[in-house]
Structure 1
């Protein structure tokens, strides 16, 4: 989920802790739990700092080890120890429990996005992405805002957010049911479909689709269960040529290939260099596919320039590559 949603979820959890009479009657414990829940709801995304390094590091590692099983166990211990050092009057066990719940909730809700997480590390590095909830879901965020308003006018915060989270469980079940209906409709439209990656949108009844069939890729949109196909691409396996093999050694390309489950590729040869482009088909915006990896190699197959990330125009891509204009 986005940062804002994780924050409001942390506050909601800290509020629900006050349902326990012990917490409600101990201000220091209640304060520590609220701080722990807010920090715990953010901690797994500390890897966002990798953006300062480069996109390749970020793409390869974001929602990776920081969302893994060992990290989920370690974050609450570190956060609890830090808070307890400043609020020693707080109940240590209660603080740890609620901080642990906040960290688990963060990773759990991220699984339902199209981006997903490597939540099952170290047992597998496979990305777990259920594609049911958009990274920012207006319904989820709005329900939290309603909870804050009710809290502000005098409702009990714990019971208010407990009721809201019961509603959210029903909402997640509804979204799962809607997603399965879309998949069923895709099978009717494309009978030889072998896999469909669904990405929710900000709109309740619209979904982005990247569909893999036996010989083709289809990029489509589902609107109220109606499948609208935007683009069709021939499914061409990545060849084992010298140029492609050299391109795969590039950090940006390697990071892209480790993350993207469905993409097409292009290779062009110019008078003084090669250019290889990998295009993720999950993301389409106004007839453009913005998530790419591009590498340029000289005729001796030395990497000259490369880039991976989100680019919304060819001119911007050329600026990022900098060295060899086409």
Structure 2
């Protein structure tokens, strides 16, 4: 989920914790638990700082080790020890338990996004992505904000957030059922599909779809239960040419390939350089595919410039590359 949603989830969990007798009976425990749930709801995303280095490192590592099994166990211990230093009168066990719940829920809800996490590390490096809830879901965020406002206005936080979470669990189940219906429609439309990726959007009845059979990539959308194929691309294996192999060694290209499960490729040759481009097919927006990786190589196949990330126009991509106008 996005940062804002994780923040309000931490506050809501701190409110829910007031149902715990050990929390409600002690001001120090209640205060420390609220700090712990807010911090615990944020700390797995500490790897966001990698974006300050470059997109390649961020893409390769975000939601990786910081969302792994060891991290889920270690973050609560670290936070609990730090918070307990300032609140020595707090109930240590309950502070740890609620902080652990915050960290666990952060990682758990991220699994439901299309981006997913490597939550099974070190047992598996596989990305776990259920693709049911968008990274930012207006309904989930709004429900949390309403609950927080009700708390500020005097509503009992424990039962307020308990009721909210029951509603949100029902919402998750509805989203899961909606995705299953879309999957049935896609299979009826493309019966020989070997892989189907369905990604949510901020709109309840709108989904992005990328699918493939042995010969074709399909890009589609589902709006109000109707699946429409928007683009088709021939599925051509990436050749093992010197240009492609040199491009794959670039850090931006390799990061993209480690993350993207469905993409097409292009190679353009100019007078004094080559340009290799990989295009993720999952994120079509207004006829454009904004998530790309591009490298420009000189005639000796040495990298001149490269980029991976989100760009919404060719002009902006050229600006990101910054060297050759193309």
CA distance in 2, matches of 1:241, 1:231: 27
CA distance in 1, matches of 2:91, 2:22: 10
Q: For residue 154 of structure 1, give the secondary structure of its aligned residue in structure 2.
A: coil
Report the counterpart of residue 313 of structure 1 in structure 2: 313
Partner Cα separation in structure 1 for residue 127 and residue 314 of structure 2? 30
**Equivalent in the alignment of 1:241:** 241
Secondary structure in 1 matching 2:135: coil
Query: How far is 1:276 from its partner?
Result: 0.3
Residues 11 and 148 of structure 2 are in contact (CA less than 8 Å); yes or no, is this contact kept in structure 1? no
Aligned 8 A contact 2:118 2:125 in 1? yes
Q: Residues 105-147 of structure 1, C-alpha deviation per residue, up to 9 Å, x if partnerless?
A: 0000000001111111111111111100011111111111221
1:111 and 2:80 correspond: no
Q: Which residue does 1:57 correspond to in 2?
A: 57
Aligned length in residues: 326
Alignment map for 1:22-33 (pairs within 5 Å): 22-33=22-33
Asked whether the 8 Å contact 2:33–2:99 carries over to 1, the reply is yes
| Distance (whole Å) between structure 1 residues aligned to residue 151 and residue 321 of structure 2 | 51
Equivalent residue, structure 1, for 2:206: 206
Please give the TM-score of this superposition, normalised by the length of structure 2: 0.98
**TM-score, scaled relative to structure 1:** 0.98
Matched, 1:183 2:187: no
**2:22·2:94 contact (CA, 8 Å) conserved in 1?**
no
1:97 aligns with 97
Give the Å deviation of 1:230. 1.1
Corresponding position of 1:162 = 162
Q: Do structure 1's residue 135 and structure 2's residue 138 form an aligned pair?
A: no
In structure 2, distance between residues paired with 1:49 and 1:128: 22
Encode CA deviations 1:150-186: one digit per residue, 9 max, x unaligned.
2233321011101111111111111111100000000
Aligned ranges for residues 151-300 of structure 1 at < 5 Å?
Answer: 151-300=151-300
- Please state whether the residue corresponding to 1:74 is helix, strand or coil: helix
Q: Mean alpha-carbon deviation: is it higher for 29-38 or for 194-203? A: 194-203
Taking only aligned residues, the RMSD between alpha carbons, in angstroms, comes to 0.9
Question: Which sections of structure 2, spanning at least 5 residues, go unmatched?
Answer: none
Q: For the residues of structure 2 that align with 1:145 and 1:321, how far apart are their CA atoms? A: 40
Q: How far apart in 2 are the matches of 1:10 and 1:84?
A: 18
The structure 1 segments of at least 4 consecutive aligned residues displaced by more than 3 Å after TM superposition are none
Q: Does the CA contact (< 8 Å) of 2:219 and 2:231 recur in 1?
A: yes
For the residues of structure 2 that align with 1:241 and 1:289, how far apart are their CA atoms? 25
**Partner of residue 3, structure 1:** 3
Partner Cα distance (2:21, 2:65) in 1: 36
- The residue matched to 1:133 in structure 2 has which SS? coil
Distance across 1 between alignment mates of 2:2 and 2:322 = 31
> Does the aligned pair in 1 maintain the 2:208–2:220 contact within 8 Å?
yes
After TM superposition, give the deviation of residue 2 of structure 1 in Å. 0.6
- Could you tell me how far apart the structure 2 residues matched to 1:126 and 1:262 are? 15
Which residue in 2 is equivalent to 1:68? Answer: 68
Question: How far apart are residue 59 of structure 1 and its match?
Answer: 0.4
Q: Distance in 1 between matches of 2:148 and 2:107?
A: 23
Aligned: 1:12 with 2:36? no
CA deviation vs aligned residue, 1:214-240 (integer Å, no higher than 9, x gap): 211111110122111111101111111
Could you list the per-position Cα deviations for residues 78-130 of structure 1 after superposition, in whole angstroms to 9, with x for gaps in the alignment? 11111111111111111110000000000000000011111111111111111
- SS of equivalent to 1:148: helix
